[in-house]
Structures are given as C-alpha cells and as structure tokens.
C-alpha cells in the first residue's frame, strides 16, 4: 500500500487539500453569481481572491516538487494533478469575468443548472483529493471519481439541451453568442474536474 511506503513528507497532500478548498469556494461563488447576477461584484472579487491563493499554492507545490528527491507519488502525477486543479479555478474565473464583460443581467435555467453541476463536481474533487493521502479507502476514492464522471455526463446533456433551445428560441444574436460562450465555459469546468478524477483514479489503481 502507498501509505506504508510513503516518505514522511506530506506537504504535497496538504497543498492539494488547500488548493481544493479554494476550488470549492470559487465554485460556490460562481453558482451564487449565476443564481443572482446582482451579487456579481462581490462574487467576482471572492473568485479572484480564491484564484490568486490557488496560484500561490500551485507555485509552492511545483517548487517543492523540484526540491524533493523522493516524492510520495509519481512526480508527473503530482505535476498533472496540481496543474489540472489550477485549470478548474482559472475557468471559474473566466466565467465570472465573461459575465461581467458581457454585462449579462439575466441567465437561463440551464446556466444555473450547469453552475450547480460545476459546484457538485468541485466538491467531489475536494473529497477525492482529501482521501488521496492515505489510500486506506480506495473504494471511496474510486466511487467519488465515478460520481465526477457521472456529473460531467449530466453537464453534457444539459448543455446539449441548452444549445438546442438557445438556437431555436433566442432571436437576439448578441445574446445568443453571449449565452453560448457561458454554456461552453461552464461545461468545460466539468471536463477539467473529470481530468482531475482520472488522474486521482490512476494514482489509486497504480498504488493500491
């Protein structure tokens, strides 16, 4: 088992957990922003704060990686995991910035659904990462990864339905372009969460 062979250096897992906490904060603020655009300024500010903190954590993890001779898991897996996690928050920030730049005052029910799915994915990313440090319950980690995969599929279905309705019912071309961009960015967040799940799943299967 990985936990029996792992060096005492556990800071990588502390950094993963700290980063995952910022991802959840960002996803909560994004869901809140999309549910009520009047909160845009406050939510966007808090998302920016979470993204900056996550960037610092990512930098610290990569710096530690260069300084650590023996790592608890494969070096490439550490790098892939922290950078894919960082991609999630970057995309969350992108959606918030797009909402502000496009001056979107009202969003559709599908956008709200996608934001909620994003939040659920991010919460499960945090759970999977928190469980990764000891691997005493590989089944629980794999189950969480499977839940992320299922949520990503749910997001695909919601986006397809949203796109169909958008092109069928939206007469304002500018609004159509804006909403299409929002839908695509939200769905991409779930894709990046699935990337993280795949990396975590690979770690578990390799070391359990």
- CATH number of residue 104's parent domain: 1.20.58.220
Does 1 fall in a domain?
no
Domains in the chain, number: 1
pTM of the model: 0.91
Report, as an integer, the average pLDDT of 79-108. 92
For the beta carbon of residue 10, count every other beta carbon within 10 angstroms.
12
Q: Is 172 helix (H, G, I), strand (E, B) or coil?
A: coil
For the beta carbon of residue 103, count every other beta carbon within 10 angstroms.
9
Q: Write out the residue range of the structural domain in which residue 104 sits.
A: 9-207
pLDDT at 114 over 90: yes
Does 181 fall in a domain?
yes
Say how far apart CA 105 and CA 38 lie, in whole Å.
8
Average pLDDT, the chain: 90
More confident residue, 99 or 10: 99
Give start and end residues of each alpha helix (H) in the chain. 2-5, 11-35, 40-67, 75-101, 109-131, 138-169, 173-207
pLDDT at 6 over 50: no
pLDDT value at residue 5? 43
DSSP state of 125: H
């Amino acid at each position: 088992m990985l936990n029996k062979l792992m060096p005492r250096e556990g800071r990588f897992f502390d950094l993963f957990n700290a980063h995952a906490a910022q991802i959840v904060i960002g996803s909560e603020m994004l869901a809140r922003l999309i549910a009520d655009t009047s909160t845009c300024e406050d939510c966007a500010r808090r998302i920016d704060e979470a993204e900056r903190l996550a960037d610092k954590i990512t930098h610290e993890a990569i710096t530690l990686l260069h300084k650590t001779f023996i790592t608890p898991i494969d070096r490439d897996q550490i790098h892939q995991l922290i950078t894919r996690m960082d991609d999630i928050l970057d995309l969350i920030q992108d959606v918030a910035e797009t909402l502000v730049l496009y001056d979107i005052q009202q969003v559709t029910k599908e956008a709200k659904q996608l934001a909620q799915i994003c939040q659920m994915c991010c919460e499960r990313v945090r759970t999977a990462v928190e469980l990764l440090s000891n691997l005493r319950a590989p089944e629980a980690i794999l189950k969480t990864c499977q839940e992320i995969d299922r949520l990503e599929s749910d997001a695909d279905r919601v986006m397809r339905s949203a796109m169909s309705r958008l092109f069928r019912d939206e007469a304002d071309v500018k609004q159509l372009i804006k909403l299409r961009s929002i839908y695509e960015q939200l769905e991409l967040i779930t894709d990046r969460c699935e990337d993280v799940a795949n990396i975590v799943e690979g770690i578990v299967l390799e070391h359990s």
